[in-house]
Amino acid sequence: QQPVQSPQAVILREGEDAVINCSSSKALYSVHWYRQKHGEAPVFLMILLKGGEQKGHDKISASFNEKKQQSSLYLTASQLSYSGTYFCGTEIIGRGSTLGRLYFGRGTQLTVWP
Amino acid sequence: DSGVTQTPKHLITATGQRVTLRCSPRSGDLSVYWYQQSLDQGLQFLIQYYNGEERAKGNILERFSAQQFPDLHSELNLSSLELGDSALYFCASSVGPSGNQETQYFGPGTRLLVL
């Protein structure tokens, strides 16, 4: 039930773009994206709901293809502050007790160099 | 600052001991979630409470228990501690009962080290 994230790690120069993918084997209600800096709490980036929507703010956006049970996070013109580990959390469609449970991928470590 | 508070920040204890981790959700949030983050297991959902009642259970060991009090703060009790319980424990909160399609805001975490 844990989603699979790819790639495991990305190294970029400032200004370059990156795409992080999240794939689930289960049908999903939603996909949540978080960024975590070392030793800190995950920080919410955005949530994508069932309906195949795309969202974004500033230079970070994401899409959700519910038919393929996949989501992608797009970071454009990356900045030094984008460095961290990006996690997707998936909310699986199932019996009632699964609601609210987020299954997290293992994370994608993003490093942005000046 | 997410508005979720957790205490203590760090905890060092010995195997076999019992500890209690505390979490206060954001103002207005009724759901509290507990997660464990370790290097080998990643971020794992443990348990969820909504307005004082257990709502969903994840990979929580029988040695662990939790509760949510009338003032909505929550405590996670870890007993008979083992070396493998060393991890970061996060609490998160959200507004509604199911957490369905809702944002979960994470607290700063409690780092537990079992020696």
pLDDT tens digits, B3-12: 999 999 999 9
Does B24 score more than 80 pLDDT? Answer: yes
The candidate with the shortest Cα–Cα distance to B104, out of A83, A56, A15, A100, is A100
- Give the residue-averaged pLDDT of A70-99: 86
Residues 13-42 of A with CB under 8 A from B: 29-30, 32, 34, 40-42
Does A97 score more than 60 pLDDT? Answer: no
Q: Which residue has better confidence, B18 or A96?
A: B18
- Give the residue-averaged pLDDT of A4-29: 95
* Cβ-contact A42, B45 below 8 angstroms: no
Residues of chain A with Cβ-Cβ distance to B45 below 8 Å are 101-104
- 8 Å CB contact of B106 and A43: yes
* Both structure tokens of B78: 């870890």
What local confidence, expressed as pLDDT, does residue B104 receive?
Answer: 85
What local confidence, expressed as pLDDT, does residue B75 receive?
Answer: 98
- Three-state DSSP state, A4: strand
Buried b (16+ CB within 10 A) or exposed e, B49-61: bbeeeebbebebe
Residues of chain A with Cβ-Cβ distance to B2 below 8 Å are 41, 43-44
- Give the residue-averaged pLDDT of B57-68: 92
* Both structure tokens of A18: 């990156």
What local confidence, expressed as pLDDT, does residue A55 receive?
Answer: 66
pLDDT tens digits, A42-58: 988 888 887 766 666 67
- Give the residue-averaged pLDDT of B14-27: 97
What local confidence, expressed as pLDDT, does residue B101 receive?
Answer: 61
Task: Indicate the pairing of strand B74-78 with strand B19-24.
Answer: antiparallel
pLDDT mean across residues, chain A = 88
Does A41 score more than 70 pLDDT? Answer: yes
pLDDT above 90 coverage of chain B, percent: 77
